[in-house]
Structure 1
C-alpha cells in the first residue's frame, strides 16, 4: 500500500514537472539568445532584449497554451529569487545614497498616485473596487499589489483580471519610455533617473528591464526605490480595507474582516533586506557576492523573457478604449508627479 502511494506521489510530481518544463526551457532559451544578441547590442542590454524578444515571439511563433505554466513559474519565482540575491550585492552605504529625500519622494509619489488614480477612476465611472485596484497596482507593485488588495476590498475576479491587464500594459509602455525621458531631462545623473524608474514602474521586472537600458548602477538604485514602495504594501492593503469598509459598511463580521492572505509582506522583500543587513554587517566574500550577482542576472533575464512571452496584446485591446484612456492618463500623471517631486525635493 505504501509503495502504491509513493509511486502515485512520484507520478504526480513528474506530471507537474513535465507541465512546467516547456515554458521554463523556452524562457531560458530566449534568455540565452538575448545574451548572445547583447554582445552586438551592448547599449540595449540582454534584459531589455529578453523582454522585447519575448513579446515578439509570445505574440507570434510561440503563442502556445502549453508554455503558460512554465512561463508563469519563470516570471514569478525566478524574479523573486533574483531580487533576494540582489540583496547580497547591496549594503547600507548603497541605501544611504537615496537619503531622506528619496524616502520622502517615494511616500509622496505613492500617496499622490493613489489619490489621482482613484479620483480619475471615479470620474470615468469605474467602480470603487476597480479604482482602488488601479491606484494600488500603480502606486505599489503591479499585479502583486492588486492580488493582495483584492481580498481586502472584496473585489471580484473579473475586476482584478481587468486591472492587472491594464496595469501590465501601462507598465510595458512606461518601461520603454522612461529611460528615454530620464536621459533627456536628467542627462547622466544616475540618482534622478533611478528615482524616476524605481518610483513609477509597476512591477519589479519592469524596473529591472527599464533600468538595464541605462546601466547596472541604475538597476541597483532603482530597485532600492522600488523595494521601499513594496515595503509599504502592508500599510496600503490595511488602509484600502478600512476605506472600503467605511464606504460600504457590511453587516456580517466575516465579510468585513480582510483576509490575512493579502496583508503579508512579500517573502522576497524580507529576503532582500536580510541579505542586505548581513552584507552590511559582515561584508560577504567577493566570490559569494559575484556568484549571487551571476545567478541573480540569469534568473532576472529568464524571468523577463517569460514576462515578454506571457504579454498577450489581444487581451489589452479587448478591454476597450475607456480602459486604455484610464491607463494612459494614470501613466502621464505618474510621470508628471515624479518629475515635479524630484525637482521640488532636489534629488
Structure 2
C-alpha cells in the first residue's frame, strides 16, 4: 500500500494550477488596478466640479504625475506596474467595446450623405497627412501609424485598437497617447478663442470641434463653450468619426496579414473587441435600450477607459519624453494644425453661410 501523501489544500484536480496562477495574477495586479480606480474617481470628481476639464484627460495627467513624483514613481514602476499594464491593455479594449453604446447610426445618417462624405474625407486626409508628417520628422513607422490613428479618429481609444491589430507593444503606445492628450487639451483652450475672430455660427463651431478634436470628452469640453446647438452638432460629427474606427482597423489588419511573414502568427483582420464595438453600436441604433442602461454604460466606459489611460500615463517618464520626444512634439503640433484646418473647411461646407 503506497504511503499517504496529503495534497495541499486547493491544489486538487486538473484545474487547480490554473486557479493558483489566476489568484497569483490577481494579487500582483491588485495594487495597480486599485490605484487606477482611485485616480479615475478623483478625475471624475474634478470633472464634476470643473466641467471644462475632461475626466479622461485628467486621468492621463494623474498618471503622468504618479510616474514622475519622487517616491510614487518608483512604486508605479515596481509593485503597481503589473496592474497598470493590465489596465492599459485589457481595460482599454473593454472600454472600446462599451464605447459602441454611444454611437447611434440613426444620428450619424441624419447628417446627410454630403456631411458623411466630408467627415470621411477629413478622417482619411488627416490620417494620411499625420502619418506623412510623422515620417517627415523621422518618427518610427509604427509610432507614426499610432499617432495618425489617434489624431484622425478618436484619440487613445483608436490608438489602443490599432496597436492590437498591428501587434504593437504597449510601451510604443505611450508616446502617441501622451501627444494626442496634449493636443486635444490644447484644442479645448484654443478653438473657443477663435469663434469671434472667425465669425463662426454655433453649428459651424460644433462641426469644427467634432471634426478636428481628438477625444470624445475633449470634443464635449470644447463645443459646450458655444452652447447647446454647437454641442449637439459636435457630438454627432465626432461619433461619425468614431464609427470609422472599425473599417480603419479592418483595413490595417488586412494589410498586416498580407505583409506578415509566412511563419508568423497572423492576427485577426478585426479584433474581437472591435467586433464588440460594432455590435453594441448596432444595438444602440435599434433604440431598444432604455436611458438608464445607456447612462450606466457611459459610467462604465468612463471607468474602464479612465483606468486604462491612467495606466498608460503612468508609464511616461517626463525626462525621457523631453529627451526623445522633441521631434514627436513638433510633428504632433503640425498635425494638430493640419486637422484643425481640414475640420474647419469641412464644417464650413456642412453649414454654409446664408
TM-score w.r.t. length of structure 2: 0.72
Displacement of 1:56 in angstroms is: 2.2
Q: What is the 5 A alignment of 1:211-222?
A: 211-214=219-222, 222=238
1:95 to 93, 102, 108: 108
2:306 & 2:284 partners in 1: Cα distance? 24
2:42 matched to which residue of 1? 33
Which structure 2 residue ranges, 5 or more long, are not aligned?
1-6, 225-230
- Indicate how the Cα distance of structure 1 residues 174 and 324 shifts in structure 2: closer, same or farther if over 3 A, else same: closer
> Is the 1:47–1:304 contact (alpha carbons within 8 Å) kept by the matching residues of 2?
yes
Question: What does residue 183 of structure 1 align with?
Answer: 192
User: Distance between the aligned counterparts of 2:145 and 2:49, measured in 1?
Assistant: 44
Which residue in 1 is equivalent to 2:94?
Answer: 81
Shift in Å, 1:26: 0.2
The change in CA–CA distance for 1:179 and 1:257 in structure 2 (over 3 A counts) is: farther
> How much does 1:25 deviate?
0.3
CA contact under 8 A between 1:183 and 1:193: conserved in structure 2?
A: no
Distance 1:280 1:180 in 2: 33
Return the offset for 1:131.
5.5
For the residues of structure 2 that align with 1:265 and 1:114, how far apart are their CA atoms?
A: 19
Aligned-residue offset at 1:127: 6.7
**Structure 1 residue 10, shift from structure 2 partner:** 2.0
1:61-72 to 2 correspondences below 5 Å: 61-63=71-73, 64-65=76-77, 66-72=79-85
TM superposition score normalised by structure 1: 0.74
Verify the 8 A CA contact 1:106 1:228 in the aligned structure 2. no
Comparing both structures, which one devotes a greater share of its residues to helix? 1
1:317 is matched with 322
Corresponding residue of 2:67 = 58
- Greater CA drift, 270-279 or 26-35: 270-279
In the alignment, which residue of structure 1 is the partner of 2:23?
14
Shift of 1:18: 1.1
Q: CA deviation at 1:45?
A: 5.0
Deviates more, 1:120-129 or 1:281-290: 120-129
Higher deviation after alignment, 186-195 or 80-89: 186-195
Q: Does 1:233 align with 2:241?
A: no
Counterpart in the other structure of 1:330: 335
* Residues 149-168 of structure 1 aligned to structure 2 (within 5 Å): 149=166, 164-168=173-177
Classify the secondary structure of the residue corresponding to 1:32. helix
Q: Alignment partner of 1:310: what SS?
A: coil
Q: Cα gap change, 1:220/1:310 in structure 2, threshold over 3 Å: closer, same or farther?
A: farther
Deviation at 1:29, TM superposition (A): 0.8
Match of 1:260 among 245, 262, 266: 266
Which structure: larger Rg? 2
* Residue 280 (structure 2) aligns with: 275
Unpaired runs of 5+ in structure 1?
152-156, 202-206, 246-253
CA contact (8 A) 1:208 1:219 kept: yes
- After superposition, the C-alpha distances for 1:61-118 in whole angstroms (9 at most, x for unaligned) are 5322222221232234334333433444553332234442443233322332344345
Find the aligned partners of 1:236 and 1:100 in 2 and give their Cα distance. 25
Query: Is residue 105 from structure 1 mapped to residue 139 from structure 2 by the alignment?
Result: no
Q: 2:159 aligns with which of 119, 124, 142?
A: 142
**Equivalent residue pairs, number:** 323
Q: Is the 8 A contact 2:122 2:346 kept in 1?
A: yes
Distance (Å, rounded) in 2 between the aligned partners of 1:43 and 1:284: 29
Q: Do the aligned partners of residues 101 and 267 (structure 1) sit closer, same or farther apart at CA in structure 2, a change above 3 Å counting?
A: farther
Residue 41 (structure 1) shift = 2.6
Over aligned residue pairs, what C-alpha RMSD do you find? 3.8
Give per-residue Cα distances to partners, 1:292-339, cap 9 Å, x unaligned. 233233334433433433333233223254343333323332322222
Q: Does 1:302 align with 2:307?
A: yes
Residue 256 (structure 1) shift: 7.2
